[in-house]
Amino acid sequence: MAFLFKKEVLTYDKNNKKPVLKCSICNGEQVAGFKDLSTGKFEDIMLIKNDNDLKRFMKIYNIDYIDKIY
């Protein structure tokens, strides 16, 4: 049954986008996504509810470090 779980690594434009974790100071909500370095626009990808979600996001996109923005 292990063949059912496909390990997929997605890519993003590393030259123009930066992985960030957008955190709300009001309610603590966290959203992982990418910030466009030229425009500053944030593209949300995944709601982060716990540490496992964050680890999964980082594994999917092969990210070692992620900045937090508020």
Over residues 14-68, the pLDDT tens digits come to 999 999 999 999 999 999 999 999 999 999 999 999 999 999 999 999 999 999 9
Q: Do 11 and 57 contact (CB within 8 A), yes or no?
A: no
Identify whether 33 is part of a domain: yes
Residue 25 CA to chain centroid, in angstroms? 18
Domain region containing 47: 14-69
Dihedral of alpha carbons 16, 44, 28, 70, sign: positive
- Domains held by the chain: number: 1
In a domain, 30, yes or no: yes
Q: Fill in the DSSP letter of residue 13.
A: -
Q: Is residue 5 part of a domain?
A: no
- How many angstroms separate the CA atoms of 22 and 30, rounded? 6
